[in-house]
């Protein structure tokens, strides 16, 4: 592979102005669109020696056949043009967004003569005011049912409204008290519009002045012994309380903000968009992002905000946007949002307090969504079949790897070295066949990998010997005992593919173990976490699987499951080791050992504690505390 790209512009050809650049392939298709404050500085990163580039960036630039750029007048113009081109051309190497679902909204059709409230998934109704999104349709209907008790606005269809206004007969929802529009013949168009304005004001900010006003009027009616009116105001007040309780107050009641929680790995990201109005979470939108080339967290935030507000109206953009980290062009983004909103917009990072707490909640939800996104694809039969077929083709295997074993090494600063083996059959985990290994002595991770694989591969040469199954033994009348047998567990089954967590060094150690064990026929690969590269034995360059590849998702899940299992085993072993050490202290039983570990939270904290601090625990006297401290200090 040549170390330079043939279409690299000559020195000095690229301007230093802000602008937008596009990479095209040989057929003229746009592969990637990006913006830059300084085009020359940004593009020079792509034309560095190929061996220094991120693997996925190298894949993009080697697929491309040309690059072009457009100079603009400002950084904000560059942002706008980048967004427009990404929307128009959908470049395959730019991040791709997938909304988890089409969310329902509550919409008030303000452009109508008599606005009505509806449940819709259509975000393009002219002049409509939207609230949400809501996680479930029933949640929107419940909210509307409560709201029209307080603010009786129109709910009937346009056809019913037109027919009622022409005939002078109330619409059917109006006859049963479900529609409060002019078609009910109870209010005028102007009076109805005033109620609609109050409806919108309440939903926009959870305006508690309505609750105060209803409370005042209820008390006045009760004092005047007008108990029927007081009961009406009471019911309306209960409806308002029910609506407010559905969205708990998370920030100060004058806060209008959008908060974005993001969780990501090398290939994907999950975004949780919390819509906060009047200090309450009024809606949550979830989406996933597929990444192709190397993109950092700050740049991802930039892309997420462009996506969220690219087609937004002024009323959809809040005063404050809270993000995990500020992108490099945060000032330009603020200006872009200000132009779209017509008012100032602040882009901030939550540092402490309630906003930081809400950011942690959003991030936790994003982490769970990312995990679900990754596992959902391997739980589907068709996806699993594609994954195994893709893996067979990518690794050049003679058959689909129906049984895959993945190995991972875990240690604590070189001590407590353990290894894990997880097994997937037909693309699904077989947890009953997982194994863990303790490694007494080792020099490094590659030596540990060689040891573990030698121990595992030794079972392939052992014959399956029948073992008595005592549960199945039975004695008939006067007969000899009937003993059934079962074969050993499937640890002796031959895998079609071995996967190791790591790059070239780990793969080389695994290949050496296969040769030493006399099983070079077993296929082998390694997956390196940093770049999600797939390494084969003896190869100088890794295999780069497409981000949408089912095979890559399967390998990721194998690697992550092996890592999880290894960490779990290591923690159990550390806990067992310290429990054994503490059990050597005279007078310290199981109950006190558990109490000590529970109180101090970790072995390190217990070891660093003074005898006086240990003695503070109930049931641990000064003498016993001194014994515990001396015993731990001597080890």
3-state secondary structure of 175: helix
The model's confidence at residue 102, banded by pLDDT at 50, 70 and 90, is low
Overall domain count for the chain: 5
Give the model's pLDDT for residue 23: 92
Give the model's pLDDT for residue 1: 45
Q: Which CATH number do you get for residue 413?
A: 3.30.420.340
Residue 608 lies inside a defined structural domain of this protein: yes
Q: How long, in residues, is the chain?
A: 635
Claim to verify: residue 38 and residue 147 sit in the same structural domain: no
- Give Rg (Cα) of the chain: 33
Task: Characterize 88-111 residue by residue with b for buried, 16 or more Cβ atoms within 10 angstroms of its Cβ, and e for exposed.
Answer: ebebbbbbbeeeeeebbbbbbbbe
Claim to verify: residue 498 and residue 612 sit in the same structural domain: no
Q: List the domain range (segments joined by +) for residue 385.
A: 381-462+492-571
Give the model's pLDDT for residue 484: 43
Claim to verify: residue 439 and residue 386 sit in the same structural domain: yes
Residue 477 lies inside a defined structural domain of this protein: no
Claim to verify: residue 424 and residue 531 sit in the same structural domain: yes
End residue of a domain, out of 207, 228, 248: 207
Claim to verify: residue 398 and residue 307 sit in the same structural domain: no
Give the model's pLDDT for residue 246: 53
SS (H, E, C) 570-582: HHHHHHHHHHHHH
Claim to verify: residue 199 and residue 344 sit in the same structural domain: no
- Phi/psi for 454 (5° steps) reads -65, -40
Kindly write down the DSSP assignment for every residue of 479-495, as one continuous string.
Answer: SPEE--EEPPPGGGSPP
End residue of a domain, out of 177, 207, 237: 207
Residue 353 lies inside a defined structural domain of this protein: yes
Claim to verify: residue 435 and residue 545 sit in the same structural domain: yes
Please state the pTM of the whole predicted model. 0.51
Q: How far apart are CA 378 and CA 551, in angstroms?
A: 9
Query: For residues 520 and 373, which has the higher predicted lDDT (pLDDT)?
Result: 520
Q: How far apart are CA 235 and CA 159, in angstroms?
A: 31
Residue 542 lies inside a defined structural domain of this protein: yes
Claim to verify: residue 187 and residue 42 sit in the same structural domain: no
How far is residue 339 from each of residues 299, 305, 372, 531, measured CA to CA in Å?
21, 14, 37, 38
Please write the tens of the pLDDT for every residue from 554-601: 888 888 888 878 777 666 665 555 555 566 677 777 677 777 767 776
Whether 65 shows a pLDDT value over 60: the answer reads: yes
Claim to verify: residue 90 and residue 115 sit in the same structural domain: no
Claim to verify: residue 340 and residue 391 sit in the same structural domain: no
Give the model's pLDDT for residue 492: 64
Give the model's pLDDT for residue 260: 92
Q: To the nearest whole percent, how much of the chain has pLDDT over 70?
A: 79
Q: Which CATH number do you get for residue 351?
A: 3.30.420
Claim to verify: residue 615 and residue 537 sit in the same structural domain: no
Please write the tens of the pLDDT for every residue from 364-422: 888 878 877 766 655 566 677 878 888 888 888 888 888 889 988 886 655 667 888 88
Q: For the chain, give the mean pLDDT.
A: 78
In 10 A of CB 126, how many CB atoms?
8
Please write the tens of the pLDDT for every residue from 472-503: 344 444 444 444 444 445 566 788 889 888 88
Claim to verify: residue 179 and residue 42 sit in the same structural domain: no
Residue 217 lies inside a defined structural domain of this protein: no
Please check whether residue 98 is in contact with residue 65, taking contact to mean a CB–CB distance below 8 angstroms. no
Q: How far apart are CA 92 and CA 22, in angstroms?
A: 12
């Amino acid at each position: 592979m040549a170390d330079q790209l043939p279409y690299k512009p000559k020195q000095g050809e690229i301007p230093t102005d802000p602008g937008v650049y596009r990479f095209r392939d040989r057929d003229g298709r746009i592969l990637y669109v990006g913006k830059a404050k300084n085009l020359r500085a940004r593009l020079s990163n792509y034309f560095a020696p190929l061996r220094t580039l991120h693997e996925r960036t190298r894949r993009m630039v080697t697929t491309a056949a040309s690059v072009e750029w457009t100079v603009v007048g400002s950084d904000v113009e560059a942002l706008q043009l980048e967004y427009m081109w990404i929307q128009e051309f959908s470049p395959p190497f730019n991040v791709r967004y997938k909304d988890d679902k089409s969310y329902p909204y509550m919409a008030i059709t303000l452009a109508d003569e008599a606005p009505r409230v509806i449940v819709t998934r259509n975000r393009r109704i002219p002049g409509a005011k939207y609230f949400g999104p809501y996680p479930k349709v029933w949640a929107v209907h419940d909210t509307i049912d409560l709201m029209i008790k307080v603010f009786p606005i129109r709910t009937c269809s346009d056809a019913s409204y037109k027919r009622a206004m022409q005939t002078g007969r109330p619409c059917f929802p109006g006859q049963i008290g479900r529609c409060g529009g002019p078609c009910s013949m109870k209010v005028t168009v102007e009076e109805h519009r005033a109620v609609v304005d109050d409806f919108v004001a309440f939903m926009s900010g959870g305006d508690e002045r309505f609750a105060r006003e209803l409370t005042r009027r209820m008390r006045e009616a009760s004092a005047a012994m007008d108990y029927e009116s007081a009961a009406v105001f009471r019911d309306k007040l209960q409806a308002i309380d029910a609506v407010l309780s559905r969205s708990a107050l998370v920030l100060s009641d004058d806060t209008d903000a959008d908060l974005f929680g993001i969780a990501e790995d090398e290939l994907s990201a999950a975004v949780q968009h919390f819509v906060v109005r009047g200090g309450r979470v009024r809606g949550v939108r979830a989406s996933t992002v597929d990444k192709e080339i190397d993109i950092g967290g700050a740049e991802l935030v930039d892309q997420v905000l462009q996506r969220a507000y690219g087609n937004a109206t002024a009323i959809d953009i809040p005063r404050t946007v809270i993000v995990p980290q500020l992108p490099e062009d945060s000032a330009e983004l603020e200006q872009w949002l200000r132009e779209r909103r017509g008012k100032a917009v602040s882009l901030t990072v939550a540092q402490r307090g309630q906003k930081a707490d809400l950011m942690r909640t959003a991030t936790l939800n994003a982490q769970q969504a990312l995990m679900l996104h990754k596992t959902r694809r391997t739980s589907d039969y068709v996806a699993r079949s594609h994954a195994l077929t893709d893996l067979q083709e990518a690794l050049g295997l003679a058959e689909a790897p129906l049984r895959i074993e993945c190995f991972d090494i875990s240690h604590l600063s070189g001590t407590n070295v353990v290894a894990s083996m997880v097994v997937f059959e037909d693309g699904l985990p077989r947890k009953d066949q997982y194994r863990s290994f303790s490694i007494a002595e080792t020099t490094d991770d590659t030596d540990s990998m060689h040891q573990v694989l030698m121990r595992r591969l030794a079972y392939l040469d052992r014959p399956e010997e029948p073992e008595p199954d005592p549960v199945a033994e039975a004695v008939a009348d006067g007969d000899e005992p009937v003993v059934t047998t079962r074969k050993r567990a499937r640890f002796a089954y031959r895998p079609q593919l071995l996967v190791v967590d790591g790059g070239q060094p780990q793969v080389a150690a695994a290949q050496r173990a296969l040769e030493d064990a006399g099983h070079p026929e077993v296929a082998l690969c390694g997956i390196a976490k940093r770049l999600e590269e797939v390494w084969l034995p003896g190869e100088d360059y890794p295999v780069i699987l497409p981000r949408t590849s089912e095979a890559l998702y399967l390998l990721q899940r194998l690697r992550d499951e092996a890592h999880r299992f290894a960490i779990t085993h290591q923690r159990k072993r550390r806990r067992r080791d310290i429990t054994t050490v503490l059990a050597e202290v005279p007078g310290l039983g199981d109950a006190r050992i558990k109490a000590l570990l529970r109180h101090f939270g970790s072995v390190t904290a217990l070891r660093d504690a003074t005898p006086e601090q240990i003695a503070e625990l109930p049931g641990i006297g000064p003498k016993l505390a001194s014994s515990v401290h001396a015993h731990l200090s001597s080890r």
